[in-house]
Amino acid sequence: MKEKKLVPRRRFEEFQNADAWEQRRLGGISDFITKGATPTTYGFNWEEEGIPFFRNDSIKDNRFVFGKYSYISEEANATLIRSEINCNDILIAITGDIGKVGIVPKSIEKANINQHMAKVRISKDTYSYFVYQYLSIDEMQKKYQKVKTGLSMPQLSLEQIRDTIIKLPSIEEQKKIGVFFKNLDNLITLHQRKLEKTKALKSAYLAEMFPAKGERVPKRRFAGFTGEWKYQQFGDVLKYEQPTKYIVEVASYSDKFNIPVLTAGQSFILGYTNEVNGIKKASSENPVIIFDDFTTSLHFVEFPFKVKSSAMKILDLNSLDNNLYFIFYALKNINYSPHSHERHWISKFSKFQELFPSKEEQHLIGNFFKKLDESIANQRKKLNKLKAMKQAYLEEMFV
């Protein structure tokens, strides 16, 4: 039987007829592989500034994200010099989220790591960003999950990391693939930062455009509005509908169907049904809020839907004198955590009071946050599309 050649499904044009990829041990293409240690074990204290010291929360979703790092002294770093990290070193989580990888960015001249991460310094005749991307593909991540040792605290050993098999093309093809993914990662990072900046901006506006505790007016207002806001009960401004007639009959979902089945919990859209009866006809002109009667989580909905269970209330305006999106955020601002498994809308939330401005000010605030949320949703959609595109390329461009 003819042995299958090690070539990827997708290849850059100039490498279409290039040699097949070769299998190499990770230890064989690395200058050295080691792990970190805890400075306090060696008698050193944490410092206010100095050399950054990273833990394995610095790796998330196979990316280096800094995490909550500390500082150590130059003396401590010199003692722990074997685990000093520099730009382009690869980090692998060997406990916790085992096998997750990151690569040290250019912004870090030198730093150090704890014992829950391994450091892999790739030899100069191999392109580190290529190896980093290779270690992040699903196949490699699943292999690390299979080889982990230990029951109470699973971990990867340095020997298991050294024995990891990497399939390599020529150094020229490595660089071409590595640079391609580096540019894609930079684009993903750019969109991620833009999303985080918009979310931070929204949080700042929420803190300033609703009155602080003990106040009757917000810190920031639209021009032309003065005077104190007035307390109203949510039960006076909202009416509720039981969801019973909208419950899906068969929990058989498919993305091929059109009508979403909702829960008021975190998952929100459970799937899609082809049922045509018992549909709640929400729309942008007639939106509703779905309120989880037990957890008190809620979602704003402006499209037709069915529901999974009766454990919610469907909330709507009692009159057009209020803005539903403003009320949605007024509800989210309530500082309340359920302490028992009971229904909360009628017994508690409908009786809660919150400060309300005039109808006109409500509309301006509600529409402002609605546009901000739409911007966040669009940014998140673009980011997820880029991540999905990267995942597809990873599957096709590596062996």
CATH, residue 46: 3.90.220.20
Q: Could you tell me which of 38, 23, 25 has the C-alpha nearest to residue 159?
A: 25
**Whole-number Å distance between alpha carbons of 36 and 58:** 14
- Are 45 and 163 in the same domain? yes
Number of domains in the chain: 3
CATH number of the domain at 8, please.
1.10.287.1120
User: In whole angstroms, what is the distance from residue 61 CA to residue 275 CA?
Assistant: 37
38 in the same domain as 109: yes
Final residue in a domain of this structure, among 133, 152, 168: 168
Instruction: Show the tokens assigned to 75.
Output: 């003396």
User: Rounded CA gap, 252 and 274, in Å?
Assistant: 9
227, with CB counted inside 10 A (0-12, 13-18, 19+), is: exposed
Are residues 361 and 215 part of one domain?
A: yes
* Coil/strand/helix, residue 381: helix
CB-count burial class (<10 Å; 0-12, 13-18, 19+) for 24: middle
- Its domain, for residue 363, covers 1-21+170-223+357-398
Helices (H), 167-209: 171-209
Q: Give the pLDDT score at 238.
A: 97
Q: Same domain for 117 and 164?
A: yes
Q: Report CA-CA distances (Å) from 284 to 91, 201, 220, 265, 371.
A: 47, 25, 27, 21, 13
**Domain identity same for 187 and 276:** no
Question: What does the buried/exposed string (b/e) look like for 52-68 if buried means 16 or more CB atoms within 10 Å of the residue's CB?
Answer: bbbbbebbeebbbebee
Q: List all residues 6 or more positions away from 339 whose beta carbon is below 8 Å from its beta carbon.
A: none
Distance linking the first and last C-alpha atoms of the chain: 20
In this structure, the answer to whether residues 256 and 304 fall within a common structural domain is yes
Find tokens 């000093």 and name the residue. Answer: 84
| 205 and 281, same domain (yes or no) | no
Longest dimension (CA), the chain: 85
* CB distance 143 to 134 below 8 Å: no
Spell out, as residue ranges, where the chain has pLDDT lower than 70. 1-4, 148-152
Last residue of a domain, one of 324, 341, 356: 356
**DSSP H helical segments within the chain, as ranges?**
74-79, 128-136, 138-147, 158-162, 171-209, 234-237, 324-332, 359-397
Reported as type and span, the H/E element at residue 272 is strand 269-273
Instruction: Using alpha carbons, select from 206, 228, 169 the residue that is nearest to residue 15.
Output: 169
**Is the domain of 254 the same as that of 381?**
no
What is the per-residue pLDDT for 1? 44
Tell me, rounded to whole angstroms, the distance of Cα 15 from its chain centroid.
35
Q: Facing residues of 155 across strands?
A: 95, 149
One domain for residues 210 and 323: no
Cα radius of gyration rounded to whole Å, the chain: 27
Residue 244 sits in the same domain as residue 273: yes
Quick count: other Cβ atoms within 10 Å of Cβ 224? 8
Is there a single domain that holds both residue 88 and residue 155?
A: yes
Q: Are residues 185 and 215 in the same domain?
A: yes
